[in-house]
Amino acid sequence: MISRNTIDQVYETARVEEVIGDFVVLKKSGSNFKGLSPFSQERTPSFMVSPVKQIWKDFSSGKGGNVVAFLMEHEHFTYPEAIRFLAKRYNIEIEETEQSDEEKEKANARESLYLVNQYAQDSFAQDLWESSEGMAIGLSYFRERGFTDESIRFFSLGYAAEQRDHFYQKATKAGYAENFLEETGLVIKNERGAVDRFRGRVIFPIRSMAGRVQGFGGRILSTTAKTAKYLNSPESDIYHKSKVLYGMFEAKKAIAKEDVCYLVEGYTDAIQMYQQGVGNVVSSSGTALTSEQIRLIRRLTSNIVVLFDGDAAGLRAAIRGIDLILEQGMNVKICTFPVGEDPDSFAKSHTLDEIKEYLDSEAKDFIQFKTDLLLQEADNDPVKKSNTVRELVQSIAKIPDPIKQEIYIKQCANTMDVSEAVLFNALAQEQSKKKVPVRKINQPVSGVDAIVQKMPSKESGVNPLLSLERQIIGILLQYGSQEAAFDELFISADEEGNLMEESKIIQSKVHEKIFLDLQQDEVELIQPEFQILYKQLIERFQLEGDVKPEKIIQQEDPHLGQILTDILFADEAHQLHDWEKKNIFVKDRKSAVGQLVSETILTFRRHLIDQKIQSLMDIAKKPDASEEDKIFLEDVMQYQNLKKLLSRKLNRVL
């Protein structure tokens, strides 16, 4: 693991405006920078970067955070990958935490496998472009397939020489250990010595989401060779075929931007589509989809369009695997090409506009596609039709969203001419196998039951305390170390038990005022994220006396970073619109910090009293409530009086 010291050094050194400036054109706007959102199509800037706070905010998509969060969103890095990227950019040496000898050995072995694969990619590319054999055979093949030199270099395509141990000799002379050459599968050892696995093949490097070479795919060009047409690297510590998708590294930005992923079968399908301008395309490398591959796509989008050849053999069997996509809660469409065409040939013979128009018009919802296909096969045979209905219900049962399930059930009922009740019962049977609760078809309700069902539930609304908790975090974050004047309300009781109020002006630090008030009321924040942030902020104030936004924003949990960014940028969104130039001036909240804090705490207290009153009333109304429970009503009256005092005080603050 990367040491905390390295992570701190990365945060201290990296400048958010410099890193983001490599990806987004930024223009100065007051103390901040602004630019066009990299996450959506827009004409006016809604993307802001704060060098002072070292955060960014995209108001068009709602995303935001620190420099690491940007790389995780834009480049789709994991947290460690983003830290390593920044360390490399700023020449920071990465220090690993103390590991056992076994852990160190394993980490070093994995890194060695990556280094061997990177060397192999460079070697295959060099042989393709510089050797006479590579140019005559490999380069000619790629160009005949219609690949431009730019695409060949972009995908780092290569060629492995026909000679039995050509790569092995090069790699060992370069100092790479034989055991790592074997473990990556680049070299095979047998009784006759070392043999290059991919000899005489054109090479397709397979890269991880972060761009590291995990393995290779090789295609034989000889028509007489008695061997598999395509060959992949064997499973290793860094390459698991079921967990990778070809072209994911090259396509990830386009997938996130377009919010849809096109899935093809072959390497050349993906490359040709990409070359024609459809960048959001990946390949399953001719194997059945796995849940790990689907989750890889889901990190970028929830929409998949699967592209099939027009005359693809086994189309019926292939679509069964798509049920896995439905299980992951993804939206799936199917698009088939005309007979005799595949994504490679279709892209080669059509313009980008024609390709996009075809994909938009021909892509069918998966359930609709499966319905049409199975109905065609059923050919009005009642038995086959009943099997078709059951197959469709089985697919619908895979969908985790009950709303989508109901919509599809109604759609199928219309298409198949079967009642909804029958389909819902079939769905219930399927889901009972998995013990998943399903929607029940109930008889219409009337009378008192109907009235009760129509009554609004208090629980359905948004809890106002959550908004107030967010306000409290925002006040601590922005004004916690400031000293302000507070019109303090002191409540006491006279000899007859009547509540009395007295108002005094006191000076206090904002964080001390909030901490003491909440501690006095013996309450905790409800939202877990706010609980964590509140504890972090109070601890920093108590230990250091201040909280620097650029420090607290360094959250490993991107969700916490997002919350902090939203709060920190709340007062600065108006800068995007240049209101001052239009003689519209936005009030600065700093001018009334004491009033803001008092208003928030008083409102928070009033809502807490409302909850207490409600809980006492609920206890007293219970059928089995004792006389002692009913005495709680006296407490309710006291709380009501306290609420009136708080309301009067709140009106004065306002």
Domain ranges of the chain: 4-89, 102-239, 367-434, 464-653
State residue 354's pLDDT score.
94
Rounded CA Rg of the chain: 32
Strands (E) across 453-553 are located at 483-493, 499-509
Structure confidence by residue, pLDDT tens digits, 204-263? 999 988 788 999 999 998 776 677 888 999 999 889 888 899 999 899 888 888 889 999
- Spatial contact of 453 and 473, defined as CB atoms under 8 Å apart: no
Residue 584 has pLDDT above 50, yes or no: no
Q: Which of 12-21, 31-40, 100-109 has the lowest mean pLDDT?
A: 100-109
Average pLDDT over residues 261-288: 91
Contacts of residue 454, Cβ cutoff 8 Å, sequence gap at least 6: none
DSSP, collapsed to helix, strand or coil, labels residue 337 as coil
Q: Which residue has the higher pLDDT, 524 or 32?
A: 32
pLDDT tier at 599 (50, 70, 90 boundaries)?
confident
Q: Tally the C-alpha atoms within 13 A of residue 115's C-alpha that lie toward its C-beta.
A: 12
pLDDT tier at 587 (50, 70, 90 boundaries)?
very low
Q: With respect to CATH, is domain 4-89 assigned 3.90.580.10?
A: yes
Structure confidence by residue, pLDDT tens digits, 328-339? 888 899 998 888
What CA–CA distance (Å, rounded) separates 248 from 296? 9
Q: Nearest 10 degrees: CA dihedral of 266, 271, 273, 274? A: 140
State residue 507's pLDDT score.
79
Buried b (16+ CB within 10 A) or exposed e, 176-199: beeebbbbbbbbeeeeeebebbbb
The DSSP letter of residue 338 is: P
State residue 243's pLDDT score.
87
State residue 182's pLDDT score.
93
State residue 58's pLDDT score.
87
- Spatial contact of 64 and 58, defined as CB atoms under 8 Å apart: yes
CA angle 263, 266, 269 (to 5 degrees): 75
Average pLDDT over residues 28-39: 85
Contacts of residue 647, Cβ cutoff 8 Å, sequence gap at least 6: 606
Average pLDDT over residues 527-556: 81
Most confidently modeled range among 163-167, 376-380, 444-448: 163-167
- Spatial contact of 49 and 20, defined as CB atoms under 8 Å apart: yes
Q: Which of 254-268, 417-431, 485-499 has the lowest mean pLDDT?
A: 485-499
Structure confidence by residue, pLDDT tens digits, 398-413? 888 888 888 888 888 8
Strand order across the beta sheet in which 32-35 lies: 27-29, 32-35, 47-50, 55-58, 64-65
Q: Which residue has the higher pLDDT, 195 or 427?
A: 195
Tell me the average pLDDT of the chain. 79
Angle between helix 382-397 and 420-434 (nearest 10): 50
pLDDT tier at 281 (50, 70, 90 boundaries)?
very high
State residue 405's pLDDT score.
86
Structure confidence by residue, pLDDT tens digits, 104-161? 666 678 889 999 999 999 999 999 999 999 999 999 999 999 999 999 999 999 999 9
State residue 316's pLDDT score.
63
Q: With respect to CATH, is domain 102-239 assigned 3.90.980.10?
A: yes
**% of the chain residues with pLDDT over 90:** 26
What CA–CA distance (Å, rounded) separates 15 from 10? 9
pLDDT tier at 454 (50, 70, 90 boundaries)?
very low
Residue 575 has pLDDT above 60, yes or no: no
**% of the chain residues with pLDDT over 70:** 76
Structure confidence by residue, pLDDT tens digits, 612-645? 666 666 666 666 655 555 555 555 555 555 556 5
What CA–CA distance (Å, rounded) separates 269 from 286? 11
Q: Which residue has the higher pLDDT, 206 or 4?
A: 206
Residue 85 has φ and ψ, to the nearest 5°, of -60, -45
What CA–CA distance (Å, rounded) separates 439 from 444? 15
Residue 98 has pLDDT above 80, yes or no: no
Residues in the chain: 654
Structure confidence by residue, pLDDT tens digits, 71-80? 888 877 778 8
State residue 494's pLDDT score.
60
